[in-house]
């Protein structure tokens, strides 16, 4: 039940963030340079998040492989 709640909350946050970003990048009274700077920051944060997620995935996968190697016959 908690997983469903987290999925719904995450989906709502992503939709709200999408509407905000659409408004932010379409609004004409925000300067182009500021919009580009914010886009660069968002891309950087997404790359960091992807990198950390990949490292954690590899660490868990390696840990699972190590558990099988330690089995004695």
The token pair at 45 is 């944060």
Q: What is the per-residue pLDDT for 13?
A: 93
* Phi, psi dihedral angles at 42 (to 5 degrees): -65, -45
Domain ranges of the chain: 1-29, 31-73
Query: Has residue 9 got a pLDDT over 90?
Result: yes
Mean pLDDT of the chain: 87
Closest CA to 23 of 12, 9, 11, 38: 38
Measured CA to CA, the distance from residue 50 to residue 16 in angstroms comes to 21
Q: What is the per-residue pLDDT for 63?
A: 73
**Within a 10 A sphere around the Cβ of 53, how many other Cβ atoms?**
10
19-42 pLDDT, tens digit per residue, is: 999 998 898 888 989 999 999 999
Top pLDDT among 2 and 63 is at: 2
């Amino acid at each position: 039940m908690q997983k469903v709640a987290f999925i719904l909350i995450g989906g709502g946050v992503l939709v709200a963030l999408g509407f905000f970003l659409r408004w932010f990048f379409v609004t004409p009274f925000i300067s182009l340079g500021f919009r580009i700077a914010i886009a660069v920051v968002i891309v950087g944060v997404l790359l960091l998040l992807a990198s950390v997620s990949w490292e954690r995935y590899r660490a868990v996968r390696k840990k699972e492989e190590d558990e099988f190697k330690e089995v004695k016959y």
